[in-house]
Structure 1
Amino acid sequence: MTTNDQDELARLLSEEAWDERYSEHSGAMWSGEPNPALVAEVRGLPPGKALDAGCGEGGDAIWLAQRGWEVTGVDLSSVALDKAAAAAAPRGVQVTWQHLDPVASPLPAATYDLVTSSYVHLPEEQRRALHANLAQAVVPGGTLLLVQHHPSFAHGNDHPLAQYGLLLTPEQLADDLDPEQWEVVVCAVRERAHVHAGDHPVLDSVLRARKRVG
């Protein structure tokens, strides 16, 4: 990747750029519905403390809170968090919204029964830092759920995620975790409808892992 490419990617992933994207939409940018992978993987877990990293407009965090989880949603974009809080209010659920960068801001260690992050696509060094930060925030016996666009998302388009090589298989996500500390429970490719692709199905990489006890 050239220096110009690195600079452009940094701009695309910046707080200012995300604020601009969310501000371009007077209403919600996303559907407001929870990620199907989250629903499938979390439905059977007993509610506890949860962290949604890169929560955006709050669809996943709100769904968790409605099911009895004590949820903290964090995001780089204050505009997204404002929209998330506005979406949560009429539903009568309580979510703690925090404006922070989950790559650069340390998270409290061994605090959450569930840590989830969906569609946070970053260059390798930042991605590994993020996943390490998320992993250490999970209590022993707790769950880490990572969902990303599968590399097939790149087929036939010039989306920046494809252009800069930010799309991963579930096996690549699993490689970010220490097998001595984590038991991989689900490492799979899942199909879902994509709201910005005319509801045509796309593939996601889904990783669910359990933190070993002791």
Structure 2
Amino acid sequence: MPTKILPIVDCRHLTAFCEGHHQNACSLPAAELPERMHELPKTSEPIILYGDTVTLLEASAFLQGKGYQVVQQIEWTPSVQAALQATGELARGAHSQRLWQPAPLIARFVAELAPAHGITPGTGLDIGCGAGRDMVYLAMHGWQMCGIDYIPAALQRAQNLAVRHQVGIQTECLNLETGSDPFSAYASGQFELINVARYLHRPLFPWMKRLLKPGGVLIYQTFMQGSEQFGSPRNPNFLLKPGELAQVFAGAEILLDAVETLDDGRPVSAFIARL
């Protein structure tokens, strides 16, 4: 098997990055790291840093404080650039490698389940979208995505992420747990896909049925009973029961109904159904 390439973060300013960088590097300037944590890989993946003396110190201290293992710090010098040029590993311009990944369930849906079941991209809604990785990934694969979250800063991160990956998304700042009709701005049958990740508010289930077109797809991945043994959430209102989604969406064509385990041991649902 080929050797796995460790994630490379270039922590210099974007201007310096554009003038020359390792071809596998992601441009994440040290000053922007606190706002762009969602663009990093899992903390379990060791990281290589490129930068100048100041940005290496700043980035390595920040990342190690967040639990990352920085296995190599490479100061960017003319000799480093020349060495990369000689080995064909030097790149120029603003193109930056993607280090982040969507939820595994989304990646599996795009790569396997959608093609296997003849599901083609259409309009999609991401409920509780957060910083938008799942939504942007779906947009990168042809879906016209709209995301809802109640945190304005999270929606701004989602918009920034979409811009960096040259896709368009819509976002709406909305608290779905207030009011009698949380989706009043949306028409019945407006979406071909609804995605929900790590969010559970059971009163929304009937609304999801209304928002999906006939044959629309629901993707639901959130914490299940048993997660409280490993950490949060502990409130039973935020924990799915075994078989709960299949019961709530009885009559739908269930494409996947499984329990997966996160790295920290918490069980999560892997549920995909066509309504």
Q: What TM-score does the superposition give when structure 1 sets the normalisation length?
A: 0.72
Partner secondary structure for residue 57 of structure 1: coil
How do residues 11-90 of structure 1 correspond to structure 2 at under 5 angstroms?
A: 26-28=34-36, 30=38, 32-43=100-111, 44=114, 45-90=119-164
Which blocks of at least 5 consecutive residues in structure 2 are unaligned? 1-32, 41-99
Distance across 2 between alignment mates of 1:156 and 1:190:
14
What corresponds to 2:258 in structure 1? 188
CA change 1:110–1:165 in 2 (3 A) is closer
Change (3 A) 1:102 1:29: farther
The answer to whether the aligner puts 1:146 opposite 2:235 as a matched pair is no
Alignment partners' CA distance in 2, 1:27 and 1:170: 36
Higher RCO structure (Cα 8 Å, ≥6 apart): 1
Closer, same or farther in 2 for the Cα pair 1:80/1:26, shift >3 Å? same
| Distance (whole Å) between structure 1 residues aligned to residue 188 and residue 36 of structure 2 | 32
Higher Rg of the two aligned structures = 2
Q: 2:79 — aligned with what?
A: none
Say which SS state the counterpart of residue 164 (structure 2) adopts.
helix
- Select between 135-144 and 200-209 the one with higher mean Cα deviation: 200-209
* Residue 172 (str. 1) matches residue 244 (str. 2): yes
In the aligned structure 2, how far is the partner of 1:55 from the partner of 1:141?
A: 22
Q: Partners in 2 of 1:56 and 1:153 — Cα distance?
A: 21
8 Å CA contact retained: 1:112, 1:139: yes
Where in structure 1 are there 5+ consecutive unaligned residues?
A: 1-24, 122-126, 194-199
Give the C-alpha shift of residue 102 in structure 1: 3.4
Q: Contact 1:49–1:69 (CA<8 Å) still a contact in 2? A: yes
- 1:97 Cα shift? 1.1
Deviates most, 32-41 or 70-79: 32-41
For 2:145 and 2:158, locate their aligned partners in 1 and report how far apart those are by CA, in whole Å. Answer: 13
- Rounded to whole Å, the distance in 2 between the matches of 1:109 and 1:120 is 22
What's the % identity of the aligned pairs?
25
Q: Which residue of 2 aligns with 1:210?
A: 274
SS at match of 1:26: helix
User: Post-superposition shift, 1:171?
Assistant: 0.9
Residue identity in the other structure for 1:204: V
Aligned-residue Cα RMSD (Å) equals 2.1
Q: Distance in 1 between matches of 2:129 and 2:198?
A: 10
Equivalence for 1:111:
190
Per the TM alignment, residue 54 of structure 1 is displaced from its structure 2 partner at its CA by 0.6
AA at the equivalent of 1:27: E
**Post-superposition shift, 1:56?**
0.3
